[in-house]
Amino acid sequence: MSVSILVICESEIPMDDSLVMSSIIDVFLPINPRFSSIMVMGKKGARKWKKVEVNVENHVHVPSFSSPKGSSSPSENDSFLKSYISQIAMQPFPQGQPLWEIHIIKCPTSEAQGTLIFKLHHALGDGYSLVGALLSCLPRADDPSLPITFPSVNNFSSANKDDRNIGLRKVVSRCFLPLVNTVRDFGWSVLKSTCVEDDLSSIRHGSEHFQPFLVSTVTFSLDRIKEIKSRLRVVINIILKTILTLASRSTRAVLDLSFLLFKTVNDVIMGAVFLATRLYMHRTRGNSNLGTNSTALVLLNTRNLRDYKSVSEMVQPNSKSPWGNDFAFLHVPIPKVKRSDSQFSNPVKFVHKAHEVIKRKRSSLGVVLTGKLLEIMKKCRNAEAVAKHISRTLRNSSMVISNVMGPMEKLSLANHPVKGMYYTVIGTPESLRITIFSYAGNLRVAVGAEKGFIDSELYTRLLLDAFDAILDDACRKQK
């Protein structure tokens, strides 16, 4: 496999390539020796890093966009930028030089005055390592001396405590269920990576190789997502009070409506992605797509951390957040829709399904065991065996979802205030990939769709519709 990560930074002001070049030499290259190394074959056939001299000019590209009329508008440049991203995604890295590139786009688009694209090979590190490295190059725009902060993970614990009964149920839930979930999740993961494939559909082409693709993005406000959470929390509080009043005869209401309580932003956005995916499948091929077996492969950082550590901490020999690739994946079934429910009349149920899966995965060691399996395969066989295993897993799934947490404040890159950021993964064989990045109060969702097979513009419109439908449904349920 030759997998890379594209990180796109949108600048509020026009790009000055001289400042960017200076920042690359003084800040970016010293972050980690891998940025100044190439991969070579060792004596026993294993690959290792070899330090080389870096000619920065070979790694930095400054393309110019021009229309047949001699000038182009920001909206036209949007199309040029999408095509350019697709173009560089298909180009391999030159032999004999470190595995990274930077592309400086000076033309203004509808989103920014200038754009900087980092193309980083996955061999350099996973999302946690590379995002941590980039953030070390980007100080806060308001005050560079202040540290970057990240969203906190707050749990709604009051209702959960009411739902956790003492006695046998507590013992079963804490001991037996995690064991069952672990066996089920790990076993299903092995099957999906070997012999069980998703059905072919309007989001799964079944290609064995990376195909040309286009990237479209949509931005959600974290405040709006929290609004959905708060509205549904009001509903569950009303239900709990009602049950206390009506006693045991209303326990059925808890079973019917307890799905309205969920904990994290992930549940809401995953629910919107699932709903948008089924809407797209219905729009493109009708009811025949609604009952297909489709799976989302969710990539996860397996480090037990809630925020980023400094690069100096990552490269320590016994670091708990080591630099490199330390990830695993879990298979999440995309909820099916009954053929009679063509209007998708209950959007919140997709949030319920997302919460159900996420809650169950939290009580399972399936992801940890999957990560250990990859480690064992690498030690007992080689990295190529791991690559084949991951590639087969990706091919057997319908879509890939990756989520990286970003800073709460706006950052600055070489004195360029960063208006927005997003990323995507390239080089993998699936037809649809969703990448999610939080930045300065917003959640940026990038849709990477196989060119000529998936309509990325239609999918992003449906993603917006799905989010609005979930919010409206939450408001109706609160009333």
Q: Is the pLDDT of residue 243 over 70?
A: no
Cβ neighbours of residue 81 closer than 8 Å, sequence gap 6 or more: 65, 105, 107, 109, 115
State the average pLDDT over residues 200-223.
90
C-alpha radius of gyration, the chain, whole number? 23
Q: Which of 165-169, 181-185, 292-296, 388-392 has the lowest mean pLDDT?
A: 165-169
Q: How many CA atoms lie within 13 A of 224 on its CB side?
A: 14
Q: Work out the angle at residue 327's Cα, subtended by the Cα atoms of residues 33 and 104, and round it to the nearest 5 degrees.
A: 50
User: Are residues 346 and 236 part of one domain?
Assistant: yes
d(CA 350, CA 366): 23
Q: Count CB-CB contacts under 10 A for residue 371.
A: 18
The answer to the question of residue 420 being in a domain is no
Q: Which of 65-69, 102-106, 142-146, 324-328 has the lowest mean pLDDT?
A: 65-69
d(CA 459, CA 447): 8
Helix axes 348-362, 222-246, angle to 10 degrees: 80
User: Are residues 173 and 117 part of one domain?
Assistant: no
User: Are residues 456 and 318 part of one domain?
Assistant: yes
User: Are residues 273 and 128 part of one domain?
Assistant: no
User: Are residues 378 and 281 part of one domain?
Assistant: yes
User: Are residues 273 and 166 part of one domain?
Assistant: yes
Q: Count CB-CB contacts under 10 A for residue 196.
A: 13
User: Are residues 40 and 173 part of one domain?
Assistant: no
The answer to the question of residue 324 being in a domain is yes
Strand-pair category, 442-450 with 432-439 = antiparallel
Report pLDDT for 477: 66
Residue 39 belongs to domain with CATH number: 3.30.559.10
* Residue span of the structural domain in which 269 resides: 158-406+427-478
Q: Which of 164-173, 294-303, 321-330 has the lowest mean pLDDT?
A: 164-173
Which parts of 153-250 fold into alpha helices (H)? 158-163, 168-171, 177-194, 222-246
Of 82, 100, 135, which residue constitutes the final position of a domain? Answer: 135
> Which tens digit of pLDDT belongs to each residue from 82-96?
999 999 999 999 988
Highest mean pLDDT among 118-127, 187-196, 254-263, 266-275 belongs to 118-127
The answer to the question of residue 259 being in a domain is yes
pLDDT over 70 for what percent of the chain?
Answer: 80
User: Are residues 457 and 325 part of one domain?
Assistant: yes
- Distance between start and end Cα atoms, the chain: 51
Report pLDDT for 255: 30
Of 82, 102, 135, which residue constitutes the final position of a domain? Answer: 135
User: Are residues 8 and 61 part of one domain?
Assistant: yes
> Which tens digit of pLDDT belongs to each residue from 125-176?
888 888 878 887 889 999 999 988 877 654 433 334 444 444 555 555 566 7
Please answer whether residues 229 and 262 qualify as being in contact, where contact means their C-beta atoms are separated by less than 8 angstroms. yes
d(CA 378, CA 386): 6
User: Are residues 224 and 104 part of one domain?
Assistant: no
Measuring CA to CA, which residue among 165, 163, 14 is closest to residue 77? 14
> pLDDT: is 338 or 83 the higher one?
83
Helix (H, G, I), strand (E, B) or coil at 247: helix
Strand-pair category, 295-301 with 399-404 = parallel
User: Are residues 171 and 25 part of one domain?
Assistant: no
d(CA 83, CA 80): 5
The answer to the question of residue 151 being in a domain is no
Domain count across the chain: 2
Please answer whether residues 90 and 264 qualify as being in contact, where contact means their C-beta atoms are separated by less than 8 angstroms. no
HEC string of 362-378 equals: HCCCHHHHHHHHHHHHH
> Which tens digit of pLDDT belongs to each residue from 372-431?
888 888 888 887 888 888 888 999 999 999 988 888 899 999 899 999 999 999 999 999
pTM of the predicted structure, to 2 decimals? 0.84
The answer to the question of residue 241 being in a domain is yes
